[in-house]
Structure 1
Amino acid sequence: MTKLSVNINKVATLRNSRGGDQPNVLKAAIDVQDYGAEGVTVHPRPDERHIRYQDVIDIKPIIKTEFNIEGYPSTEFIDLVKKVKPNQVTLVPDPPEALTSNSGWDTIKHRSFLQDVIAEFSEVGIRTSIFIDTDLDNINNAAKTNADRVELYTEPYAAMYAKDREAAIAPFVAAAEMAKKAGLKINAGHDLS
């Protein structure tokens, strides 16, 4: 069954652009849950241009559903996630200066790095997911990193959907089937409306 986790970063972007505390990020996290979403997602970046590290710490106690923290596994990010202990951490390959996530991990090239990071989170009981494209080799290799899940990067789907729904979904169906065969659970997201 499909479950919805809502990323509240844009609420924080608005708040930060206005100064002060409106709209309130904590209220947004509460509202997302009260309106029926099964999870809350945040993506703190080193420059804190939207969700701030302190927001992540403040949000954790009010989460009644699943809490997912996504981001690039820098030392600071790893420390934050281990301190907060969300239900899930999603590892995203974007460097700190990236405006937004625009690709998935190359799990072949970065397998050793991902294995080390995933082992750190697994030791403290945090489920791991890897942000990934629909490349079948990368998905098959994701299982070798010991990740629990993959998150399929859906921007290509969103971009192609209006032109050809069937062609847009086809690589995601194949990717999901490969992930399932490899023993991975599946998340999907980015640029969906």
Structure 2
Amino acid sequence: MANQPMDVIAKVLEKVEEQVDAELNKQLKEEDFEVLREKRLEALKKAHKQKQEWLSKGHGEYREIPSEKDFFSEVKESKNVVCHFYKDSTFRCKILDKHLSILAKKHVETKFLKLNAEKAPFLTERLGIKVIPTLALLIDGKTKDFVVGFTDLGNTDEFSTEMLEWRLGCAGVINYRKDLLPCYLTYM
């Protein structure tokens, strides 16, 4: 007897599903499915072409640039750039390198670079970089934000890659699809 309500519910759900399917079949004809399929295929082709273009410009890898001059040319050719200003003598820079290497592969829409601050005195002064490590977050060639030290990352050396990813998402320099509400609360 205890199984009867479940049987009734199953039959009702089955009927509702049949009605939804019938309504969908009425509304969407075969040509509509073909149009949707073509649009999706075109979007996939466009996304693939964009990814190939990014990869050809050095996206998808975390790499060092040798000079300030290279910084300007690299930033000009990409919409989104994360540049790590570092010094070899600073241990925390190596921690950041590990996380940025992971994120560079995951977020090919953004170019990930590193520049030795000691080889870029003009740039570090112009950008006001006083703490190492510092990440400059650039969009359309303009510095939008900075991540200075580890303060925004929980103020600990043991922050997660996800924490850094969230922080870069807050700045809009990567395509971040998770919850950004804490960003708006923190940076308002």
TM-score by length of 2: 0.30
TM-score by length of 1: 0.30
Which structure shows the higher helix fraction? 2
Q: Indicate the structure whose relative CO is greater, using CA pairs within 8 Å and at least 6 residues apart.
A: 2
